[in-house]
Chains A and B, each alone.
Chain A
Amino acid sequence: MSDPFDALREPVVPVDPDPRFAARLRARIERALLDTRGTTMTTPTLPRQGDAGYVSLRVPDIERAAAFYGSAFGWRYAEPAAPRGRQVQGLGMPHGMWEDQETRSLFVCYHVDDVRAAVERVRAAGGRAEEPSREAYGLISGCTDDQGIPFAVYEDSGEDRPAATSRQGEVVYLTVEVPDASAARAFYGSVLGWEFTPGGVQDGWRVRVADSEARPMAAIWGGRERAAVVAMYAVDDIGAAVARVRAAGGTSTDPERMPYGVTAECRDDQGIPFQMGQLF
């Protein structure tokens, strides 16, 4: 049966706009092309597809976590917009906290060029992805990988982004800990375009984005009991930081010297693992 609405079909008929408008727009395009080229060269910190652009710590008790990380790193928080959430102030990469009884992991939002296409890739790779929603900063979709780690893909406008730093409390390294590293490599490889080089530990893989280190640096670590993302936070003085973590009710190994800095393995007072690093 034919649909009367089919009569509305209308192919595109070219129409010449006002020539003055056409000339003005051409000039704007030429200027914009110059600006874009200039920007790409002078601000290399814009996130690329596969870089983390926002992280949020999922914790069972938000008040406790705010107090703990406040004493460990000196974090201050913006006036909370929601009782279950906090935003850390003054970091290069935005860092939030969210109260959630189950996750106990760092929730990472990865920048992608096209959220809708990324959602398709997540689903094709065996993960789950919500329909993208439009937020003030752009399109975002909440996802879960095929080993149960929640994350998000979003389109980062790159606006008003402060330069990356390694000052105290800044995330300098992300470790995606999973039972099955080859499954994780396949998943994140196809979803985010990550590539890998063998890392320093058994079944550890350094993440490469666009032929260079991921920003912040990242790795996949296989053979772990539980799937979760663990952050390494920069600290100014590792000895003092370890003492602060212990005093605040957390646990920490003694500092250990690595090729890139002195680090410690910690847990906060709710049992969530993290690392600290005084980088060289």
Chain B
Amino acid sequence: MNLPAGVEPDPGAALLALYDAALPEVYGYLLSRCGQRALAEDLTAETFLAAVEATGKRPPPEVSTAWLVGVARHKLADHWRRTEREQRGLRVVHSRPEEHDDPWDERLDVMTAREVLTGLGPHHRGALILRYLDGLPVPEVAKLLGRTVHATEALLVRARKAFKDAYESKEGRDV
């Protein structure tokens, strides 16, 4: 965009101009990751309102659909963290020996996989979605979840184990 010297583009106006095009992307991302319409709407609203706040900062962000999806991913990670915290109080926490990630040869049935994912605890679900559905590298997953890379690797090992167990028992039950 060519602007006369000294005139800055207004990121707020840019956000409004982008709204109609970006909304289905943001909402589509959130709906596919959380699977509930009401929750996806709440998180979509949170995303855009956080974007409004960010446009008031200096330097302002470069407003784009990709940036908004990134904001949505943060909101989703925050949501999982909240849910995880609420549920942690209810679970009996017992330490388990360090688990190793054993290679798993299985062609995943995507429909079953999605069902299994929905049934996992929020911290496992979140880690797997960011790592595998979104295809993010581990350090980025770690940032979003507010954990160290090491802790995230360990979490992914446990999440994969939980997923595998749930998947196999579902397969077993279905046959």
Determine if chain A interacts with chain B. yes
> Which residues does chain A contribute within 8 Å of B29, judged by CB atoms?
12
Asked if A16 and B24 make an inter-chain contact with CB atoms under 8 angstroms apart, the answer reads yes
The answer to whether A64 has its CB under 8 Å from any CB of chain B is: no
Whether B56 contacts A7 by the Cβ 8 Å rule is no
Bound-state Cα–Cα, A39 to B52, Å: 13
CB atoms of B108 and A5 under 8 A apart: yes
Q: Is the CB of B27 within 8 A of A17?
A: yes
Please, which residues of chain A bring their CB within 8 A of the CB of B56?
A: 36-37, 39-40
How many residues of chain B are within 8 Å of chain A by beta carbon?
Answer: 44
Q: Tell me the chain A residues, 31-63 only, with Cβ under 8 Å from chain B.
A: 32-33, 36-37, 39-40, 48-49
With A8-B110, A28-B45 as given contacts, are A132 and B146 in contact (CB-CB < 8 Å)? yes
B133 touches A13 (CB 8 A): no
Whether, in the assembled complex, A25 has its beta carbon less than 8 Å from a beta carbon of chain B, the answer is yes
Check if B16 sits within 8 Å of A30, measured CB to CB: yes
- Interface size counted on chain A using CB atoms at 8 A: 37
Asked whether, in the complex, the Cβ of A4 is within 8 Å of the Cβ of B105, the reply is: yes
Residue of B19, B41, B104 near A29 (CB, 8 A) is B19
Q: Is A260 in the interface zone, CB < 8 Å from B?
A: no
Contacting pair A7 B107 (CB below 8 A): yes
B89 contacts chain A at the CB level, 8 A cutoff: no
Q: What distance in Å separates the Cβ of A159 from its nearest Cβ neighbour in chain B?
A: 12
Q: Decide: A134 and B31 in contact? CB cutoff 8 A.
A: no
B24 touches A14 (CB 8 A): yes
A15-B27, A40-B56, A210-B58 in contact; A4/B49 too (CB < 8 A)? no
* Residue of B whose beta carbon sits closest to that of A1: B103
**With A14-B24, A15-B28, A26-B19 as contacts: A9 and B135 at CB distance below 8 Å:** yes
Roughly how many angstroms separate A22 CA and B22 CA in the complex, as a whole number? 11
Q: Hey, which bits of chain B sit against chain A, CB under 8 A?
A: 12, 15-16, 19, 23-25, 27-29, 31-32, 40-41, 44-45, 48-49, 52-53, 55-58, 69, 103-108, 110, 113, 117, 128, 131-135, 143, 146, 148, 160
Seen from chain A, the residues whose Cβ lies within 8 Å of a Cβ on chain B are: 1, 4-10, 12-18, 21-22, 25-26, 28-30, 32-33, 36-37, 39-40, 48-49, 113, 116, 131-134, 210
